[in-house]
Chains A and B, each alone.
Chain A
Amino acid sequence: MAEGRFKVRRRAGLRLWLSAAWLILLVIVALFAPYIAPKDPLEQDLFAGRLPPFWVHGADAAFLLGTDSLGRDVLSRIIFGTRIALGVAVVSASFTCIIGAALGLLAGFYRGWVDVVVSRFIDIWMAFPPVLFSILLIAVMGPGLISIILAIVVIDWTRFARVIRAEAMAQGAMDYVASARVAGRGRIGILLREILPNVLPIIVVLLTLEMGIAVIVEAILSFVNLSISSDDPTWGGMISEGRTSIHQAWWVLVFPLITLFLTVLSFSQLGEGLKDRFDPVLR
């Protein structure tokens, strides 16, 4: 029994550290992109178009992961794309989390008319098809980073609100909340000191999952050309461009795709790992 528990914990630890390592690497890369990137990500060199990655015959050692059809360095573009991907992920997930968690906590704990209003609002909100909704939103506001972030926040807050509402409701029915009320704690006090700590593990999981989702959404919107201008390097934009030349230059599509995949996977694994850390029962 004790041994089994130890094993589970160690596995969770490995998962946590691997995903954290990848994300920390990305953060460093994003912060120091101009110093790390071997080339200017926007510099075109039509004579060096579609060069393969370094281990393939015919490669140029100066372009480690090859070049796209305009002769731009794939590695440098991935590195600069990290900035946009992480920026969008962190900012949009944070706002989504704050709005969704606040509404969910209020609805689940106060119940009554607050709950009715928030829940009906969520129901109505979720009836909109999310992809069309975001495309519509961006079409109205014009493409750009702010539009993408706003689209993610506006669509995804319901994800937080629903889960956290349910959890706040379950916690609110526990005897320890009744005891706190008897002791004379006010509602805000109970919400912040008794309920929030118990909802925190779920908030953390949702937050990291949301960051992964935000990375995907940004990539999708870049793919359909609704993100920022197509010159600026984004992972989704690169995948989109690589799609047209997949038979001649697979690396233009594959490398950003792998990066995207690892990043999204790391976010979700980080969430799971952190949940185990935060949850006193599993700790």
Chain B
Amino acid sequence: MSFLEVRNLSARVKGGGPLLRDVSLTVEVGEVRGLVGESGAGKSMIGKAILGILPKAVEITGGQIVLDGSDLLTLPPAARRVKVGASCALIPQDPLTALNPSRRIGVQITDRLVDILGWTRQRAEERALALLGEVQITDPTRVLRQYPHELSGGMRQRILIASAFAAEPKLIVADEPTTALDVTVQKQILKLIAALQARHGTALLFVTHDLGVVSKVCQNLSVLYAGKVVEDSAVADFFRAPKHPYSAALLAATPKYTDPSAGLQPVPDAVIAAVRAEVEHG
């Protein structure tokens, strides 16, 4: 049995069109699954639905989200919060807004361990210190006393990563964790996430639109188009021979640094028309 199993999940904007259509995907213990798609395909919505932080305007219309054996959607809200809080964490997209600007870094990491998991403050502080070391922050004692605005975007993302791993969650949803960063910093952050994931054996749902990132950190991936999963493959198979024509077009559209003269290949209109017809009617 998978650690996370999303079964036939559908969601829509209240009084509007569908956002997710019959989405099914699984994340095994310790697996890294990529979730790719273009903007608006519903990648982040899946992550938010799992973590229970969907915007109020979005409602789930059907399906199940089974986390560690229990369906989150049928749990009462308080029980769901406890369950998710104890076993999941989020690495958010924008490190600039993901830390509370008026609280010190240290408190923000330890607070949840103390208040929600009932650790002693000393144990939580030691843990925070160790984690900042793990995400390669020099002088962690000083950083713990600083405010978010005193740190660079890369530093903040490291802290968010440390914070996500702090309570030893079994599943982390990384919602485009490198999108808001410089390309040079992106690579370091990716390596860091991969290293921590391997060391802690955490399952990771990696939401991104960057196939290059997927090839580096993920084992399996789901390709999303207009709220529907059109392909679910192992990463190695996907890059060798994508099953769905849309996936193939997406792969072909990725710029190739090894062959700059090839230029950019947009996804052909015919492919888009076909996949749209499939998603909307099939």
- By a beta-carbon cutoff of 8 Å, the part of chain A in contact with chain B is 111-112, 174-176, 178-186, 189, 193-194, 197-198, 200, 279-281
Contact = CB atoms under 8 A, between A and B. Distances in A.
17 contacts: A175-B98, A176-B100, A178-B51, A178-B53, A179-B90, A179-B92, A181-B52, A183-B85, A184-B112, A185-B112, A186-B78, A194-B103, A197-B100, A198-B100, A198-B101, A280-B149, A281-B101
Contacts of B241: none
B193 interface: no
Nearest to A283: B147
Contacts of A182: 51-53, 84-85, 88-90
B102 A280 contact: yes
B206 to A, nearest CB: 16
Most buried by B among A111, A179, A280: A179
Contacts of A279: 102
A194 B103 CA distance: 8
A183 B116 contact: yes
Interface in B159-204: 160, 163, 167
Q: Sorted from nearest, which 7 A-B pairs have the closest CB atoms? A: A184-B85, A175-B98, A175-B92, A197-B102, A183-B112, A280-B147, A174-B97
Nearest to B50: A182
B149 A176 contact: no
Contacts of A180: 112
* Category for how many chain B residues contact A: 20 to 34
Interface of B: 48, 51-53, 56, 78, 81-82, 84-86, 88-90, 92-94, 97-103, 108, 111-112, 115-116, 147, 149, 160, 163, 167
Contacts, number: 76
Contacts of B88: 182
Which of B52, B53, B167 is packed against the most chain A CB atoms within 10 Å?
Answer: B53
A8 B244 CA distance: 60
A184 B82 contact: yes
A186 B81 contact: yes
A185 B56 contact: no
A193 B51 CA distance: 20
Contacts of B102: 197-198, 200, 279-280
B177 to A, nearest CB: 11
B116 A185 contact: yes
What's the dominant secondary structure at chain A's contact region? helix
A133 B37 CA distance: 58
A168 to B, nearest CB: 14
A280 B101 contact: yes
Contacts of B52: 181-182
A194 B149 CA distance: 16
Nearest to A173: B97
A185 B115 contact: yes
Contacts of B149: 280-281
B56 A111 contact: yes
B147 to A, nearest CB: 4
A189 B56 contact: no
Contact of B56 (A112, A179, A181, A184): A112
Contacts of B53: 178, 181-182
B98 A176 contact: yes
Contact of B116 (A111, A179, A184, A198): A184
B76 to A, nearest CB: 13
Given A184-B84, A280-B147, A176 B112 contact: no
Given A178-B53, A189-B115, A280-B149, A183 B101 contact: no
Nearest to A176: B100
Given A175-B98, A183-B112, A197 B103 contact: yes
A175 B97 contact: yes
A281 B85 CA distance: 30
